[in-house]
Structure 1
Amino acid sequence: MIGLPAKERAMSETVAEVTIFERIGGAETVDRLVEAFYRRMDTELDARRIRLMHADDLSHTKAVLKRYLTEWLGGPKLYSVEKGHPRLRQRHMGFAIASPDAEAWMLCMRGAMAETIADEAVRSHLDDTLTKLAYWMRNQPDAPEGTQTWKP
């Protein structure tokens, strides 16, 4: 704000910043995003392994992801009031996660975002951020090229 004329500085200070949550369409879009994400996890062959990391009934998992994404995207604090700090990596330590799992997760998320988020700039930003997050969640070394570490 330094360097702006007083009138412009006052105007810019009164304009509220729009959150990504608001920009994508709020809770309705987050709901559709999570539903599309798990639908892809159920149907994408490359997502079989990560689907097996989840319960057969995804109701609870979907609800948790919806609360997490709502808060993470700048919406109401629905996740932290119930669960505290996300500690995502710690919460996922019980699952063996390697690069192919991060890639499968992103395959499902990219498809879900393409289906539900119209704003390309937001989609691109979320893709970058979520890709970093997905790869940060890895807790297993990657298998040597040409080997398979699990059986479908």
Structure 2
Amino acid sequence: MSGETITLYEAIGGDQTIRALVRRFYQLMDELPEARNCRAIHPADLSGSEHKLYEYLTGYLGGPPIYIEKYGHPRLRSRHFGAAIGVAERDEWLLCFSRALTDTVTNPKLREIIWPPIERLAHHMQNREEQA
């Protein structure tokens, strides 16, 4: 494998790791009291959300582009515009993702590569300012 480039998807363990990451993310969202605002803007049944995040992250991290093949361009901000995403919801989402990432991706260097664009994405998704 010397000199061969691999994707983040492959480096973290592919499908199995993406599934574990997404499962852990929503498990944390359901369990952590400090994620209650983020959880409240999601449907009672998280299975659809879990499946779409799995499809999105698979392509986002360099695996098969299954989300785009099914739904077209992600347009994540517009797809989430119906959910009021403020600072609390954004930060709680990041808390869950950070913990899920730590729990499922064992290599700290890979986590360091994955985290900044995920953090930027979460900030981009915020669609409301906090009341003064």
Mapped to 2, the partners of 1:137 and 1:59 lie a distance apart of 21
What is the percentage of aligned positions where both structures have the same residue? Answer: 38
Aligned residues: 131
Q: What is residue 18 of structure 2 aligned with on the other side?
A: 30
Q: Please list the CA deviations of residues 9-47 of structure 1 after superposition, one character each: whole Å capped at 9, or x if unmatched.
A: xxx8xx431100000000000000000000000011121
Asked if 1:80 corresponds to 2:88, the answer is no
Which residue of structure 1 lines up, in the alignment, with residue 50 of structure 2?
62
Distance 1:126 1:75 in 2: 14
Instruction: Give the corresponding residue for 1:96.
Output: 84
Partner of 1:52: 40
Matches of 1:140 and 1:118 in 2, distance apart?
34
Aligned-partner SS, 2:66: coil
The answer to whether the 8 A contact 2:37-2:88 is kept is no
Find the aligned partners of 2:87 and 2:79 in 1 and give their Cα distance.
18
- CA distance in 2: counterparts of 1:127 and 1:100, whole angstroms: 19
TM-score, normalising length: structure 2:
0.94
TM-score by length of 1: 0.82
Equivalence for 1:124: 112
- RMSD over aligned CA atoms reads 1.2
How far is the alpha carbon of 1:142 from its aligned partner?
2.1
CA distance in 2, matches of 1:110, 1:75: 21
Structure 1: how far apart are the matches of 2:42 and 2:22?
14
Report the counterpart of residue 8 of structure 1 in structure 2: none
Please identify, of 124-133 and 32-41, the stretch whose mean Cα deviation from structure 2 is larger.
124-133
- Greater radius of gyration (CA): 1
Q: Structure 1: 5+ residue runs without aligned partners?
A: 1-11, 145-152
Give the conservation status (yes or no) of the 8 Å contact 2:38–2:88.
no
Matching residue of 2:97: 109
